[in-house]
Amino acid sequence: MAPVSNSKTAIIIRTEWGLTIAATRITLYDVMDYVTAQYPPKLIG
């Protein structure tokens, strides 16, 4: 999969739920599940 260029920068923080995208409840584990299920990048973000 090719990287998607975007002007936004996500900040990753450690919370009680794990590594999370700042200001959301989306964890990196959620993102990895979407990637392995071959979701299109525009539907993940």
Interval 1-43: pLDDT, tens:
555 555 577 799 999 989 999 988 899 999 999 999 999 989 8
The answer on pLDDT for 45 being more than 90 is no
Residue 7 lies in a domain: no
- The confidence score (pLDDT) of residue 6 equals 57
Number of domains, the chain: 1
In a domain, 6, yes or no: no
Kindly state whether residue 34 falls inside one of the protein's structural domains.
yes
- The pLDDT of residue 9: 79
Q: Residue 40 sits in which domain range?
A: 13-44
The set of residues, in sequence order, having a beta carbon less than 8 Å from that of 4 and lying 6+ positions away, is 41, 42, 45
pLDDT of amino acid 38: 96
